Amino acid sequence: MSIFEKGMSEEQYKQAFYREFFKDYLYQPNFGKSKIDFVIADPKDKTRHLLWAEAKNKPTQPRLSLTQLILTAKKTYFGGEVVPPAYLATFDSEEINIYRTSDFV
């Protein structure tokens, strides 16, 4: 069974993805000045981010989503808003890709 339903907006898809995989964590959509799509944080410390992700509600090449996430996250990272998480991710209606942040900084 898929959490993706035809016609869902990207915001609806992100919320469904959060409920399915991260419901025990703090979800912070469109975070910071750079508006990172999908942020998962420690529920006991909202400044401790665990994952930043770029979300798409339709199939998208992971490399394009990752590039968009890195360019978006760069503003938050260099702006000193929070310490970057250990993981970055891209997800769409067909696949999830997880990367180590340390591979890009």
Distance of CA 51 to the CA centre of its chain: 6
The answer to whether residue 47 is domain-embedded is: yes
pLDDT over 90 at 65, yes or no: yes
State the pLDDT at residue 1: 47
Q: How many domains is the chain partitioned into structurally?
A: 1
Token pair for 51: 């994952």
**Any domain includes 62:** yes
What single-letter DSSP state applies at residue 71?
Answer: H
How many other C-beta atoms are found inside a 10 Å radius of the C-beta of residue 31?
A: 20
Q: How confident is the model over 16-23, as a mean pLDDT?
A: 93
pTM attached to this predicted model: 0.88
Q: Are 25 and 43 in contact (CB under 8 A)?
A: yes
Q: What is the CATH number of the domain that holds 86?
A: 3.90.1570.30
Q: Which residues constitute the domain of residue 64?
A: 10-103
Quick one: pLDDT band at residue 49, thresholds 50, 70, 90?
very high
pLDDT at 2: 67
Give the mean pLDDT of 79-87: 84
Residue 5 lies in a domain: no
Residue 25 tokens read as 């964590």
- Flag whether 1 is in a domain: no
